[in-house]
């Protein structure tokens, strides 16, 4: 008896990412050492786990009631592979050429709905693959976990890459020792208080509460403005050196300290008038809500009964950083970032944002949900994400990977930052509205210089303590 396949309705998050104000495509740059082999890449895609995932082999269709569904179809791989043989810009720098290409994709190149919502662009002159996936198919955790099933360790082609967490602290974070009932009660009170405060701020941000205007502020309509892209490059060892210098800090604490310090440096350079010390600059960050943090076992993601399901499973956090004149101790930026993030960890803000979005989408439809999300972005200053990647060097189709980078479609923010770690390095793609931030390389250098100064200060402090 022939099985009749039925259409699968989109999840509320998937529907949200299809709305005009929130239409998001993830554009990932995968650099390789040797020239690309087109036939080998097509063969790898054809035989990959990716095409066994229903959303990658389904068309987006809209029924008579305006509801979106996935409808299984036969995938023609040739239609999903775009080959660019000629150099894509006149720039002498390979990095600048690829970044220019990704910046253009962020504002001017939607994915057609006559085929499943993904593509591979092969930039032959630049030894780079650009993987384009609509955010409705899945979030960064899902897509990175899926991509790595197609990769192998460079030093052992029989093994898949190792996944390692970067956001954990150097200690257990209070797991040891005996907890008294007073300690537990105090923690419960803190969770309740911070949840109330941050949830109220989240609601107010969706209504009228807005960051003060600075030279890096965006706003409604800025998502349509032309974009530029630059790459800030960090060494994980440098970030870990800074992490060890601040008690119980995490890589995320260091990252936000670097962002806070780097933005302060940039504002000092660009602002014609001195800013008020302590001015708040709020970022929107996505937080993974799966029970298991970090990248996932793909078999569990593809199991519909698993709590770690494939797709979009994240909430939004509002993460403020503050403008300060750079003083004698750059680690103060990390300490302030850590204090802020520790409070966020005690709240249910991320879970609340996911649930309220689900409720609004289910009860009032995608237009209102999209409007509320859009207003939050218009009332904040930047977007930031941090994705853990493989610890060691990897290959794809037998070709050593030289870098992994990602960015996404432009948003009302003038600055969007996406960082991915890979083999001891971390590259942060900084996508900017070029009419607001004409030289993103200067901003990238401000971030790099901030980390370098923090590392030098941490090393000097450690040396002083050893000499005592």
Question: Residue holding tokens 């600048």?
Answer: 96
Task: Check if 8-153 and 184-389+409-467 are the same fold.
Answer: yes
- Which of the four pLDDT bands, split at 50, 70 and 90, describes residue 202? confident
- C-alpha 120/C-alpha 45 separation (Å) is 10
8-153 adopts what CATH topology?
Chloramphenicol Acetyltransferase (3.30.559)
pLDDT of residue 81: 96
Residues marked as catalytic: 135
According to DSSP, residue 221 is labeled T
Could you identify the residue written with the tokens 């996935």? 70
Stretch 154-164: mean pLDDT, rounded? 80
**What mean pLDDT is predicted for residues 284-290?**
82
10 Å CB burial of residue 117 (0-12, 13-18, 19+) is buried
Q: CA-based diameter of the chain, in Å? A: 81
213-235: average pLDDT: 95
For residue 288, pLDDT over 90 is answered with no
Q: Look at residue 16 in the predicted model and tell me its pLDDT.
A: 87
Q: Could you tell me the pLDDT band of residue 178, with boundaries at 50, 70 and 90?
A: low
| Mean pLDDT to the nearest integer, 212-221 | 92
Tens-place pLDDT, residues 346-386: 888 888 888 888 888 888 888 898 999 999 999 999 999 99
Average pLDDT over every residue of 258-266: 95
> What H or E segment, with its residue span, contains residue 130?
strand 128-134
Which DSSP string corresponds to 30-89? EEESS---HHHHHHHHHTSGGGGSGGGGEEEEE-TTS-EEEEE----HHHHEEEE-S-SS
Domain positions in the chain: 8-153, 184-389+409-467
Q: CATH topology for 184-389+409-467?
A: Chloramphenicol Acetyltransferase (3.30.559)
List residues bridging with 281 in a β-sheet. Answer: 321
What are 305-322's pLDDT values in tens digits?
A: 555 567 677 888 999 999
- Which pLDDT belongs to residue 303? 63
pTM for the full predicted model: 0.90
């Amino acid at each position: 008896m022939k099985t009749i396949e039925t259409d699968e309705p989109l999840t509320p998050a998937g529907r949200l990412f299809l709305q005009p104000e929130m239409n998001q495509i993830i554009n990932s740059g995968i650099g390789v050492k040797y020239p690309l082999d087109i036939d080998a890449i097509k063969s790898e895609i054809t035989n990959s786990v990716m095409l066994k995932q229903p959303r990658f082999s389904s068309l987006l269709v809209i029924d008579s009631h305006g509801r979106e569904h996935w409808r299984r179809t036969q995938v023609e791989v040739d239609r999903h592979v775009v080959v660019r043989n000629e150099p894509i810009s006149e720039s002498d720098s390979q990095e600048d050429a690829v970044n220019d290409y990704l910046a253009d994709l962020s504002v001017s190149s939607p994915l057609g709905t006559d085929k499943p919502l993904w593509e591979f662009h092969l930039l032959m002159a630049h030894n780079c693959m650009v993987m384009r996936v609509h955010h409705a198919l899945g979030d960064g955790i899902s897509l990175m976990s899926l991509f790595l099933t197609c990769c192998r360790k460079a030093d052992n082609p029989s093994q898949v890459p190792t996944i390692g967490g970067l956001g954990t602290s150097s200690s257990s974070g209070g797991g040891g020792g005996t907890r008294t009932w007073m300690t537990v009660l105090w923690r419960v009170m803190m969770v309740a208080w911070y949840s109330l405060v941050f949830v109220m701020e989240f609601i107010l941000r969706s209504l009228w509460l807005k960051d003060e205007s600075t030279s890096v502020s965006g706003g409604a309509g800025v998502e349509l403005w032309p974009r530029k892209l630059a790459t800030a490059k960090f060494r994980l060892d440098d970030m870990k050196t800074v992490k060890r210098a601040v008690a119980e800090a995490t890589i995320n604490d260091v990252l936000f300290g670097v962002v806070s310090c780097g933005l302060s440096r940039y504002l000092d350079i660009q602002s014609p008038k001195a800013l008020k010390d302590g001015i708040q600059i709020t970022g929107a960050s996505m937080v993974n809500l799966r029970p298991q943090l970090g990248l996932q076992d793909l078999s569990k993601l593809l199991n519909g009964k698993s709590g770690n399901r494939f797709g979009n499973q994240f909430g939004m956090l509002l993460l403020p950083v503050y403008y300060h004149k750079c003083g004698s101790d750059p680690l103060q930026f990390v300490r302030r970032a850590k204090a802020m993030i520790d409070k966020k960890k005690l709240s249910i803000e991320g879970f609340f944002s996911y649930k309220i979005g689900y409720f609004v989408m289910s009860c009032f439809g995608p237009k209102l949900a999209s409007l509320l999300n859009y207003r939050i972005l218009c009332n904040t200053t930047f977007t930031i994400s941090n994705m853990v990647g493989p610890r060691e060097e990897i290959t794809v189709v037998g070709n050593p990977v030289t870098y992994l980078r990602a960015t996404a479609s432009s948003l009302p923010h003038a600055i969007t930052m996406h960082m991915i770690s890979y083999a001891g390095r971390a590259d942060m793609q900084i996508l900017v509205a070029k009419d607001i931030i004409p030289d993103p390389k200067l901003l990238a250098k401000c971030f790099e210089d901030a980390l370098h100064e923090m590392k030098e200060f941490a090393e000097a402090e450690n040396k002083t303590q050893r000499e005592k």
